[in-house]
Amino acid sequence: MTTIAIHQPNYIPWAGYFYKIKLCDIFVFLDDVQFSKNGFINRNRIKTPQGASWLTVPVHHKTEYSIQETLLVNNNWKTKHLKTLRGAYSRCPYFEEIFDFFSGLLTESTALNIADLNIEIVIAIAQKLGLECSFQKSSELKIEEKNDDRLVQIVTKLGGDIYLSGHGGSKYQSIEKFASSGIELKYYDFASPQYTQIWGEFVSKLTIIDILFNHGFSETLLLLQTSKN
């Protein structure tokens, strides 16, 4: 049985994103759908001495652009992000290891659009966590259908038996439509783990890099493994 999950490529996603990757055989980056402003595609939250704060990648955005067509603004945002991360996490136990890892990703990346940047980061983190999963871009599949018909066609084209979805998808996904194509629609739950953080009271659902700075790759993987599905 082949389990497939599909999600937009987000910027340094939260732990639940990687838990989804952990549960599937093939993870598809939905990079050819419309870019949505003020979501998690070009930003995510970190924890600072003042509390949760957004880390935002500047992009050239137009309403009609897909995620893969949304180009990065060529300025010093990478330097600013790294400076912000240093100020927020330099006291963390795994700061040097994670900072070197992430700064290497940013500085060595030649990505021109937000989709490719995010995909590079997600795959690199997943590999460091030891998550055994294949990755695919939806743009490479050349599928024209929309909404859940699109999802069905992606899973079918990749030879999937199970489509793994978060419960939010139940509002618009048809179990019957998947079933008629021989696909089981399966939902999963992710309990956001509570872990040791710096800077006071615990804040949940931050970028996974918050866990990594505080606990490193091995302990972060353990947190994902002990989260209940």
Q: Helices in 71-146 by DSSP H: which ranges?
A: 77-89, 95-108, 114-129
Instruction: Summarize pLDDT for 107-138 with one digit per residue, the tens.
Output: 999 999 999 999 999 999 999 999 999 999 99
- The whole domain housing 139 covers 3-226
Rounded CA-CA distance 153/141 in Å is 9
| Banded pLDDT at 171 (limits 50, 70, 90) | low
Least confident of 113-117, 167-171, 172-176: 167-171
Predicted TM-score (pTM) of the model is 0.95
- Number of structural domains in the chain: 1
**Is 90 exceeded by the pLDDT of residue 225?**
no
**Burial zone of 66 (CB within 10 Å; 0-12 exposed, 13-18 middle, 19+ buried):** middle
Q: What DSSP state is assigned to residue 73?
A: P
Q: Residue 79: CB partners within 8 Å, gap ≥ 6? A: none
**Is 60 exceeded by the pLDDT of residue 211?**
yes
Give the pLDDT confidence score for residue 94 in this predicted structure: 98
Alpha-carbon distance values, 135 to 9, 10, 28 (Å): 11, 14, 6
**Is 80 exceeded by the pLDDT of residue 167?**
no
Helix (H) or strand (E) holding 188: strand 184-188
Give the pLDDT confidence score for residue 168 in this predicted structure: 72
Give the pLDDT confidence score for residue 226 in this predicted structure: 74
Rounded to an integer, the average pLDDT of 153-165 is 96
Q: Give the strand order in the sheet containing 134-137.
A: 134-137, 26-29, 3-7, 162-166, 184-188
Give the pLDDT confidence score for residue 169 in this predicted structure: 66
The mean pLDDT value of the chain amounts to: 94
More confident residue, 195 or 229: 195
